[in-house]
Structure formats: structure tokens, C-alpha cells
Amino acid sequence: MQGEWLANYLLREMAVPHYFATPENRWDDLILPHMPAWTVVADREAAAAFHEGLPPGSGFPWLVWARPLFWWGTFLVAVLGIGLSINVILRRQWAEHERLAYPVARALLRLTGVAGSKGTLAELCRSRLFRIGFGLMLAIICWNIPTWFFVAMPQLPVLNAYEGLRQITIARGFPDFVLTLSPLMLIFGYFTSLDVLFSIWFFHILSLVQAGLFNRLDLGSSDPWCSFHPAIGWQSFGGVIVFVGWGLWIARHHLTEVVSKALGNDRIDDSGELMSYRTAVGMLISGLVYAAFWLHDTGMGWAPVMAYWFATLVLYVGLARILVESGLVFLRGPITAQAFTWHLFGILGMGPASAVSVGLTFSSFCDAKTFAMTPLSHVPRLGMAMARESRRALGPAVMAGSFLGGGRPRVYPLPGLLRAWKL
């Protein structure tokens, strides 16, 4: 649930500014005055200890870290609440009215037998063919693990390993056509409709052609966070705006019922949802309001705040909608909300304080991937397989679990593991 590199980016975002400030880069004059002290570790010694290690015999500076961790934690709670409430509100529209595939949830339900299907995990384990396939994949994983530590061991070219990439050059200036074997995508692709799978590779080929033509004509600007060619990224973002807007228009009758139920219309039944529509709508509004004021207090002007949240919601609702239909768990946004806000106003339009605040948001929405909205999209669908009396506990359990398991595990050398084990 922590998204791609959230713990990594967030901790570095708090510890980097005061540590790397030097007279040469003039961060003390240009950046730090616009960065509220409660968003970062303002103590230079504590920031240095984060990068260089604590001096012998000194304790961890909890008081210095407590303030930024607390306020960033409240922001992340608001973002998780927004993501969960939106998915609860749209669950019936996506699952029942539009009958989207939910490939990830369907795979899990098939393996647990909840969906009433044959071939559950217990039955599969008794199958000789399954044991052979499982053993083969496990052997590949076990072989690839030590290849990260021993250069002489080559990785087996499967499981999306970089060594398994095969690039086909089309022409000068055209992006390479990349081929790789990903069993994970093959599994989820099995539950995805053929027309969706066809459209994925067909439009990918079109994007390669367009990107190549743009490169040959020297069109498009540089944007390192785009998922593809910058011109394609911005074009795709326009498509996502239309995609999300059209989806909300189609769901207008359902959304009207949600609002009506939240206002007290008892004729609408929401007893089977993870939370009542009144709770979901209240959580959504309170989360958006708190997150907006939080960003404003970091120095972001109200106009950039509105633009930033517009782009964020469009990207994450669109990604979640595509994920529940296609199962593309490696999906990422075509651009970032930061890029949209930056190019909409520019540094002169938003001012230095807003620019610094936009930079701070990269810690939680860096690559427009997976945080909050997209992984939570399958939770309401999985909840439908639970008993009604148990569903209401799923939302709080997921929220708590996302924080308990929010850190990205590190790989330590053996001496570090032994020291950690002794501690």
C-alpha cells in the first residue's frame, strides 16, 4: 500500500534539504526560507546523522523527527481516506453496472474458492502439473536472488528481469520495441478481455510510431517523469481527462443516488458496502479539504492547490479504472500532477513558495504510481466476497495495515542482519 518508493522518497525529502544546503547552491537563501520547518528535519546534525550514521553512544533524535513524521502522517491518512472513499463510492458502478473484470481480485477469489470455482489453491497444490510449474518459478526466483550480489551469476531472463529485455530497433529516432517475459502479466492477462488486451498493444505500436515521428521532427520537450515520450504523455493526460470525465458522466445516476443516500434518503440500500455512503462522502470531503489546507500551509497558493488536486484525482481515478479493467499492475501515469501544475502556472505565476511546495509533494506522488487509489480499487470488490457483518471492518483494517507495512524493506549484508537480530 505504500506505493512505489513512498517510504524512501518521504524520508529523503525530510532529511535532504538542510543536509545538502551549501554556500555554493544557496539553498539557505533560495529554498529553505520557503520550506516550513514542520515539513522537514530542520536540525542539521540530525539530518547529517540520517545520512552518515549516529555518533557512537548517542540516541536517536526522536523529538526532531516526531514533528515532520506526524504532519506527513496526517497528510497520508487523508490521502488514504480519499482513495478508499472514492473506491467505495464507485464500486457498484464499476462492478455491477459496467461489469469490469477486476482481474487481480478475480485471481485471488478463484484461488481461495470464494467465487465458487474449481481449481482452488488447495486443489491446485494436489495437482502434479501445478507443483511442477510452481517449483520451476520458485527455482528461477531462488536463482535470481543471489545474482544481485554476485556479478558472475547471470540472471535468468524471466520474471521481468532486465537481462530478459529484448529490444527491436525500428528506425533512427524511433523508440525501441521492447519484449520481455513477465509471468505475472500473463496471469492477470488471462482474466482480461481480449478487446482490452488488443487495444493495449495496438495503441502502444501507434505511440511508438508517433514518438518516432516527433523525434525526427524535433517536437516535444523533456519531462523525466513522463511514462513515455513527453508529447505522448501530455496527449495521454488529455485522454485520461476525457476518460475520467466520461466515466463520471456515465455514472451520474449512481453518483446521484450516493449523494442522496448521504443526505438521508433511506430508500437506497448501501448495507452491503464496506462503509455507508454517508461515511464515504464525509471522508472524501473532509480528506480533500484537509489535504488542500495542508498543501496551502506548506506554501502552495490556492490556484496551484486546485490545479494540483485536479490533476491528481484525474490521474488516480483514471489509473484505478484502467487497473480494475485490465489488471495492469505495472501501470503508471502518463505525466505527474506536479508537471501539470508547473507548466500551467510557471515559476513566475506560482511564485517560489508554491514551487518549493510542489517539490515537496514528489515524496508522496512521485511517479504517479500505485499509492492509495490504485491498490485500494480492488479492496471493495474483495469485500463483496465477505460476509456482510464483516465488511465494515475491512476498511479500517486496510488503513491500519498500510501504515504497519508502509516501509520498503532494505537488503542488508550479513553483519547488518546479525546486528539487527541481536537488537
CB 312 within 8 A of CB 337: yes
Strand 166-168 versus strand 177-179 pairing type: antiparallel
CB 376 within 8 A of CB 359: no
Domain layout of the chain by residue ranges: 6-101+213-422
d(CA 180, CA 156): 12
The pTM score is 0.82
Three-state DSSP state, 179 = strand
Q: What is the DSSP string of 382-420?
A: HHTTS-HHHHTTHHHHHHHHHHHT-SPPP---HHHHHHH
Q: What is the DSSP string of 44-97?
A: HHHHHHHHH-PPTTPPP-HHHHHHHHHHHHHHHHHHHHHHHHHHHHHHHIIIII
The fraction of the chain above a pLDDT of 70, given in percent, is: 87
pLDDT tens by residue, 124-137: 788 888 889 889 88
d(CA 119, CA 217): 54
Q: Band of the pLDDT at 413, cuts 50, 70, 90? A: very low
Range of lowest pLDDT (143-147, 201-205, 228-232, 338-342): 228-232
Task: Give the per-residue pLDDT at 278.
Answer: 93
Task: Give the per-residue pLDDT at 415.
Answer: 40
CB 308 within 8 A of CB 350: no
Strand partners, 168: 177
pLDDT at 306 over 90: yes
Output the average pLDDT for the chain. Answer: 83
